Amino acid sequence: MPPYQWVRAVSGMSHNELQRDLESDTYESLMVVLDAEKPKIRVPTLPEDSINLFDPIQVKYYEKDPTVKAATEYIEHRRLNTAINRPDALYISLKDRFSSNRLVIPFKDTGGKIVFYQTRKIFDWDDKPNYLSKLNSDKTLYGIDKIDERMDTVFLFEGPIDACFVKNGIGVAGINRGHFKLTVTQQEQMKSIQLFDKIWVLDSQWLDDTSRVKTQSLLEEGEKVFIWPKKWGKQFKDVNEMCVHHGLDQISPEFIKKNSICGENSILRFKMMFGNHNQ
């Protein structure tokens, strides 16, 4: 059907009425029709037939399924079932077109409702990126539902897995090398924690080039950033790797605070410490 016939059909306008409307100075009636007919994409809360890997009954039902078994082993190896700031559930789907065979990490709002999720690769044969975000959805903050208001600080991580290992850990669902910008939804969520001090905890600046670039960018924007002590930063890429190696379920907030910097002198200190790495 030609476009003008489609518009006429959905609007109920005659050919002459439509022609007069198009020739007039205003296209309001046409635009209302077109906007009303835009397809609305509804994305389910979680991938199709998601299995709760924290539910013993569901896990028992699928105990012979190799994918479910691999997912539970991955969770245990990464200590995600015992981490201090773990989610209430982790999921896997065996059927979803886009997210099957990947660990599903739910992001909740302050009311405890799942509003977003990311999936994490767990199989070597998976040629997709390590993390994928929910399709057609605005990124939100992981951990905003678990904030302890008795603490004075929140800790901002790139992803949700590292955020699981620090009380008041928040995952921003990915950063890049340039200047970081929160989504509209994340900006709204940040208002609920605006009275807290905020410290960025990135991957080790000793091992990760993107982290070094991002650290300097954040410091230039006046943010406070955790600088990995050389002793640990040379050994471990991120918080989860360090916790797995040492059998830990959390990193002390005080350890992070003690090794964080901000302010005018912080940029110079950072450049002196990592100058050779940035060349």
What pLDDT does 176 receive?
62
Classify residue 18: in a domain, yes or no: no
Q: Which residue range is the domain that position 79 belongs to?
A: 51-274
Phi, psi of 52 (to 5 degrees): -80, 110
Distance CA 237, CA 159 (A): 13
168 pLDDT above the threshold of 60: yes
Classify residue 225: in a domain, yes or no: yes
Confidence of residue 157 (pLDDT cuts 50, 70, 90): very high
Classify residue 168: in a domain, yes or no: yes
Q: Which residue type does 196 have? A: F
- At 221-265, the pLDDT tens digits run 999 999 999 999 999 999 999 999 999 999 999 999 999 999 989
Structure-token match 């979680």, residue found: 46
64 pLDDT above the threshold of 60: yes
Classify residue 19: in a domain, yes or no: no
- Mean pLDDT to the nearest integer, 119-145: 95
179 pLDDT above the threshold of 60: no
More confidently predicted of 78 and 44 = 78
Angle at 238 between CA 103 and CA 45, to 5 degrees: 25
What pLDDT does 29 receive?
41
Classify residue 113: in a domain, yes or no: yes
43 pLDDT above the threshold of 90: no
- At 76-103, the pLDDT tens digits run 999 999 999 999 999 999 999 999 999 9
Classify residue 29: in a domain, yes or no: no
Into how many domains does the chain fold? 1
What pLDDT does 112 receive?
94
31 pLDDT above the threshold of 50: no
Classify residue 25: in a domain, yes or no: no
Question: For residue 195, with 0-12 CB atoms within 10 Å meaning exposed, 13-18 middle and 19 or more buried, which class applies?
Answer: exposed
Q: Which residue type does 207 have? A: L
What pLDDT does 24 receive?
46
Confidence of residue 128 (pLDDT cuts 50, 70, 90): very high
What pLDDT does 181 receive?
77
28 pLDDT above the threshold of 50: no
Q: 144 in the Ramachandran plot: left (φ > 0), alpha (ψ -120 to 50) or beta?
A: alpha
Contact between 227 and 205 (Cβ < 8 Å): yes
Classify residue 23: in a domain, yes or no: no
What pLDDT does 110 receive?
92
